[in-house]
Amino acid sequence: MMISTRGRYALRVLVYLAEQNAERYITLNEIADQQEISEKYLESIVKMLVKGGFLEGQRGKGGGYHLIRGAEDMNVYDILQTMEESVVPVACLEEGSKPCSRATDCRTLPMWKGLNEVVKNYLSGFTIHDLAKEKDSGFDYII
């Protein structure tokens, strides 16, 4: 499993918005400038985040984006699930995949299932609030 730039940038955007702690909408241009992400690429990222229920967008003067729910209610696993094609280590564990004819005899399947659970539990243990809070502690984040 490799997290794409789309997934990493989505986390950066959400952390940035959480750090702003603003009632106002933050413009796409401001986010792009602050995060050094192409505005054009950022458009596709925020569109997915809106569709995934993490952001709300508003057009026009005073428009932009803001978090729909609290940063403490957004875990990294759910965000990456939204942004990535897959976060499972092997195709046979993908939701909706056809059952593997070798599954009953597969000696490696339990290992892959275990790895999948470890990754899911680990990433679910971090929220956007946690990542934003680290900056307050003197840590810089690079995602």
pLDDT band at 15 (very low <50, low <70, confident <90, very high): very high
Residues ≥6 apart with Cβ < 8 Å to 13: 31, 35, 37, 42, 45, 46, 49
What average pLDDT does this structure show over 68-77? Answer: 96
Instruction: Give the pLDDT score at 135.
Output: 58
**pTM, full prediction:** 0.87
User: Residue 14: pLDDT above 90?
Assistant: yes
Q: Domains plus CATH for the chain?
A: 5-87+126-136 (1.10.10.10)
pLDDT tens string 23-49: 789 999 999 999 999 999 999 999 999
Which region, left, alpha or beta, applies to residue 96 given φ > 0 means left and ψ of -120 to 50 means alpha? left
Instruction: Give the pLDDT score at 69.
Output: 93
pLDDT tens string 90-140: 999 998 888 888 989 999 999 999 999 999 999 999 999 999 986 555 555
Instruction: Give the pLDDT score at 139.
Output: 52
